[in-house]
Amino acid sequence: DAGITQSPRYKITETGRQVTLMCHQTWSHSYMFWYRQDLGHGLRLIYYSAAADITDKGEVPDGYVVSRSKTENFPLTLESATRSQTSVYFCASKDSGGNQPQHFGDGTRLSIL
Amino acid sequence: GQQVMQIPQYQHVQEGEDFTTYCNSSTTLSNIQWYKQRPGGHPVFLIQLVKSGEVKKQKRLTFQFGEAKKNSSLHITATQTTDVGTYFCAGPEYGNKLVFGAGTILRVKS
Residue type, A12: I
Which residues of chain B from 73 to 92 reach within 8 Å of chain A, CB to CB? 88, 92
Burial label, A80 (beta-carbon count in 10 A; 0-12, 13-18, 19+): exposed
How far is residue A26 from each of residues A30, A33, A109, B22, B69, measured CA to CA in Å? 11, 15, 22, 34, 34
- CA–CA separation, B110 and B29 (whole Å): 37
Total beta-carbon pairs less than 8 A apart between chain A and chain B: 53
pLDDT at B85 over 80: yes
What is the pairing mode between strands A87-94 and A31-38? Answer: antiparallel
Helix (H, G, I), strand (E, B) or coil at A84: helix
The residue of chain B nearest to residue A55, with distances taken between CA atoms, is B95
Residue range A21-77, pLDDT digits in tens: 999 999 999 999 999 999 877 899 999 999 999 999 999 999 999 999 999 999 999
Residue range B3-41, pLDDT digits in tens: 899 999 999 999 999 999 999 999 999 999 999 999 999
